[in-house]
Amino acid sequence: MRIFLAGASGVIGRALIPRLVADGHVVGGMTRSVAKTELVKGLGAEPILCDVFDRDALIQALGDFKPDVILNELTDLPDDATRIGAHAELNARIRTEGNQNLIEAARRAGSPKILAQTVAWQLPDGPDALAVAELERSVLAEGGVVLSYGQFYGPGTYNEKQVPAEPRIHIDRAAERTVQALREPSGVVVITD
């Protein structure tokens, strides 16, 4: 399949690309950072430089790539885990406006299947919890698949040296299960240990 991976340079994107390529898929790896295009290419994907908030550019990128599947692994999280709370509104925006832009671009590209990342734990009331609920609703309304991940641990994650509380999933296992989820029917797929 042709897979458009939004968030290709993120922690799950970096783990996913080699597995998707090894499984025989052609991967277009979207990143908004020029500096990360070489990383995406080195992992085996065709780098696609695009910002999810630039709706017209996103529509063009999806139209050019012609995906069978869109994998939305976008987040806007800080490098420092202690600053996650300060990023709640940024992360909420990428889950709402960014996700809606992907859905609109998908519709214009022939409505490929959409799989999108959320979390397998209850978020505290606030913008991020509302954004997760909106993302899940909108993806399911398109006949897509919600990937409900536990907290990542392992190389490159916030939890490199310690195993977090449940629900959790090792980053490598999360990537393996995501590749398997490409064949899932519409619904919620919980990806935890």
pLDDT for 47-80, tens place per residue?
Answer: 999 999 999 999 999 999 999 999 999 999 998 9
Interval 170-187 mean pLDDT: 98
Q: Tell me what pLDDT residue 95 has.
A: 97
Interval 145-162 mean pLDDT: 97
Q: pLDDT category, 86, cuts 50, 70, 90?
A: confident
Strands 69-72 and 113-119: parallel
pLDDT for 15-55, tens place per residue?
Answer: 999 999 999 999 999 999 999 999 999 999 999 999 999 99
Provide the percentage of residues in the chain whose pLDDT is more than 90.
94
Average pLDDT, the chain: 96
**pTM more than 0.85:** yes
Give the 3-state secondary structure of the chain.
CEEEEECCCCHHHHHHHHHHHHCCCEEEEEECCHHHHHHHHHHCCEEEECCCCCHHHHHHHHHHHCCCEEEECCCCCCCCHHHCHHHHHHHHHHHHHHHHHHHHHHHHCCCCEEEEEEECCCCCCCHHHHHHHHHHHHHHHCCCEEEEECEEECCCCCCCCCCCCCCEEEHHHHHHHHHHHCCCCCEEEEECC
Interval 135-146 mean pLDDT: 98
Computed on alpha carbons and rounded to an integer, the radius of gyration of the chain in Å comes to 15
Q: Tell me what pLDDT residue 73 has.
A: 98
Instruction: State yes or no: pLDDT of 88 exceeds 90.
Output: no
Q: Tell me what pLDDT residue 92 has.
A: 95
